[in-house]
Each structure stands twice: as C-alpha cells, then as structure tokens.
Amino acid sequence: MMGATTGAMQWRNSFVALVIFAGTAACSPAPAEKPERADKPALEAKAIAACECEIARGTGQSPDCWTEYRAATQAFRPRGQSEMGGVATACAPVSTEFDALSDADGEFDIVTGYSVNGADLAEPRLCRQAEAKAVEDAINALHEEVGTGGEWDRDRASRVAEEAIAAARAGKASHPSASSRGCV
C-alpha cells in the first residue's frame, strides 16, 4: 500500500509542478517581435537634435539630450541593449558614429555624429553630414596639396576644417577632392 501511495504522490507532485510551470510560462511576456518599420528620417532628425543639444550644452555634460532619441530607438535595439551602444568607423579625417538597429526590413544604421581627426578644433564633434563631408573634402584637398612626404600642418588643417564647417553651415556645398574616399 505504501508503494501505491508513494506513486500517487509522485504523480500528483509532478502534475502540480507541470501546472506551476505552465502557469509561469503563460504569464511570462512573449519575446518581443521586431517593430514593423522604423521611421528612419524621424530617427535621424532626433539623433541630429540630440547631438546638437549635447554640443551646445557641452559634450558629455548633457545625457538628457539623448533621452528622446533613446526612447524612440529602444524598440529597434538588439534585445537586452537598453542604452546606446554606438559604433564608429576608423576613418580619417572624419569618423562616422552610428547606432546599429533593426526592424522588420532588417538592419539599419542611424548616424549619431561625426568626429574630426587630424585637426585641432574647438569642437571636434559634428552632427550634420554636410558639415562632415565639407571637412573631409577640405582636409583631403589639403593632403593632396601637401603630397606624400610633406609635413602635416595641424594649424593649417584646423583653419581649413573650421572654414569648411562655416561654409557648410552657410549652405555652401563642398567640393570633393580627388582623394575623397567616402568615409562620411
């Protein structure tokens, strides 16, 4: 008799465990599905606004500048990535910074800014592609002028970059140099 009771208790305990497991699984949130489609132009506009806010307030001093952008991109981030996890190209004279995201159409990038290398600027971070392209073209043109083996003049590169940024902000198009490689 003891064996039958033990067997029934084991069956009942297994059944209870199964019900608890099934109930827990039913109450657990389903894995998040990728959102249908991202409004990429709207996300790009939010990234530019956040970047410009950060520069205006002081780079690294205003994490709240990115709050709206982070909220808007959260659904498109890889699962488990709650904060910005940006990537940057290893390009000179301008490096592009971006977030790698995905939606129903697949992976896509949103540019979050640009960093100028090889010139000493008051603010080496840029937010708009036109500014970054202007700096890239201007510094590449300076490289062509100096030639291989020539001495690099950081002060001159800085002046050329600042002039290119001012021209881009005034709406003047940059003139691509022959050595432009398209890192921007």
Domain boundaries, the chain: 40-169
Runs of H (alpha helix) within the chain = 2-27, 40-57, 67-73, 129-146, 154-169
Q: For 12-24, what is each residue's pLDDT tens digit?
A: 444 333 333 344 4
- Model confidence pLDDT, tens digit, residues 22-49: 444 444 444 456 568 999 999 999 999 9
The pTM score is 0.72
Confidence of residue 180 (pLDDT cuts 50, 70, 90): low
pLDDT in tens, 39-90: 999 999 999 999 999 988 876 667 799 999 999 999 998 765 655 567 788 8
Distance CA 89, CA 184 (A): 9
